[in-house]
Amino acid sequence: MSTENEGTEVPPAPSAPPVPVDTPAASAPDAPAPAAPPMSAGQSGAAAPAAASGEQAAGQAPAAAQSPAAPAPSAPAPSAPDPYAHTAAHVGAGQTTAGQVPAGHASSGHAPAGSGSGAWPPPPPPAVPTYAQGGGSGSGWGASWTAEQPAAPKPGGRRGGLVAAVIAAALVAGGVGGGLGFWAADRSEDSGTDSTTVSASDSPADLKREPGSVAAIANKALPSVVTIEAQSGSGEGGTGTGFVYDKQGHIMTNNHVVASAAQGGKLSATFSNGKKYDAEVVGRAEGYDVAVIKLKSKPANLNPIALADSDKVAVGDSTIAIGAPFGLSNTVTTGIVSAKNRPVTSSDGGSSKSSYMSALQTDASINPGNSGGPLLDARGAVIGINSAIKPADSGGLGGGAQSGSIGLGFAIPVNQAKNVAQQLIKTGEATYPVIGASVSLGEASNGATISDRAAGGSGAAVEPGGPAAKAGLKSGDVIKKLDDMVIDSGPTLIGQIWTHKPGDTVKITYERDGKERTADVTLGARKGDS
């Protein structure tokens, strides 16, 4: 999206200044009429008075030559403000001439207003353009109009001159009234005294950007969030998000964000200031959908984001998500924790293996490209890694393949992600806790049923000598609870088991032959994603 800056063209300076219309011909030598100044777009109104004045002056030359000088009045005429100077200056600045009574009279053939040699009061001075230069004496731009006028003619005895003076006085009075009206209206608009708009204060206190506000949290966290570009050896790839995990240059993100670049591809991380750094994969856990990458050359001011205790999160807590939805880097959205321990199975479609999580659910807007970004609490600490969304059934934006947020986003709890990240940094692979039994992964609502056969269709569903076998579990048993968490399906059971560590003891409630039983199971370990 781009914008075009449309400037306003500056009009060229006129070739010569305007001259007074009614300069008495008897006191000044004849001179050719000056050329009208050139006009640019938006200034057609400025030329009309000048053209009319030129026509009037040309038509009055013979009358001035035939009539003797008019007698001067016995007392000076009362001075009146010049209505033309302000009005014409606005016209010269690109205003229209609507409502300018003096200009209208001048162009309507009212020659008596300025005709007759030595008429009193003298005709109004020409307007000085707003772009006029100078301002002293002489005939240059901005020179005084009265300084250029010849001396008033001596008194005479012709009655026609008095009549002309009376008519001129009436017209000038009318012009003063119209000019003053226009001037007053213009001043009212410029001064804004009648405006009802209210200006907001720009002080930080009024803007309420104190610590804890969304603006303050975003301002602090954004420099530690990166946009990740991953590209496979064949050139395919995508965009995701990550955040600074430690001062050594480790970045935490989702596995599905960097999977395409894991085998000989290219990785880069771009910070909010636009600086881009090459990176490499340190380790990734497909089942957890967690990965750690490292900057090959880290900046000196690397600042990790604080990690919260996700076990203490409560439904209704405020959340802030930062990421690059659809490639729009440094996007900040807000919401709340909508639910906890939400069983989620996700896959990016490029692998036969899925990831399982007991997720934090949020209504903060999360879209493709937010994956791997931080989900923050009201203090700005990380409570989860944004990983998955529930898309609308109607399809993607504008009928496309990718769906957008409908307010159902899911994040990996940071306690689990931190545990996995530490393993990846230390050994390059993660260890999964297991019960040593295969369960059905189909949708169910009454529990997780232990299968008849192991995953892949061969071997026993319950591993001989494994944790489940030691606890007395058998094929066909339906697991209903793990500790206090209700289990409604196989994926839910896996997600809950993976919130623990190998060696932890959990209480399993199961049903066999219509009877409910319990068993304590000490979790075993499986290394890697194989």
The alpha-helical segments, DSSP class H, found in 399-516 are 414-427, 467-470, 490-497
Rounded CA-CA distance 335/319 in Å is: 5
- The Cβ of residue 256 has, within 10 Å, a number of other Cβ atoms equal to 25
Burial (0-12, 13-18, 19+ Cβ within 10 Å), 11: buried
Question: Which one of 371, 405, 440, 489 is the catalytic residue?
Answer: 371
Rounded CA-CA distance 416/494 in Å is: 14
The alpha-helical segments, DSSP class H, found in 67-158 are 83-92, 101-106
Give catalytic status of residue 504 as yes or no.
no
Rounded CA-CA distance 431/528 in Å is: 6
Region for 404 from its dihedrals, namely left if φ exceeds 0, alpha if ψ lies in -120 to 50, beta otherwise = beta
Question: Which one of 224, 256, 268, 310 is the catalytic residue?
Answer: 256
In three-state secondary structure terms, 493 is helix
Give catalytic status of residue 530 as yes or no.
no
Give catalytic status of residue 202 as yes or no.
no
**CA distances in angstroms from 54 to 35, 61, 265, 304, listed in the order given:** 9, 11, 79, 77
Question: Which one of 82, 289, 363, 477 is the catalytic residue?
Answer: 289
In three-state secondary structure terms, 219 is helix
For the record, the structure tokens of 492 come out as 């839910």
Residues recognised as catalytic:
256, 289, 371
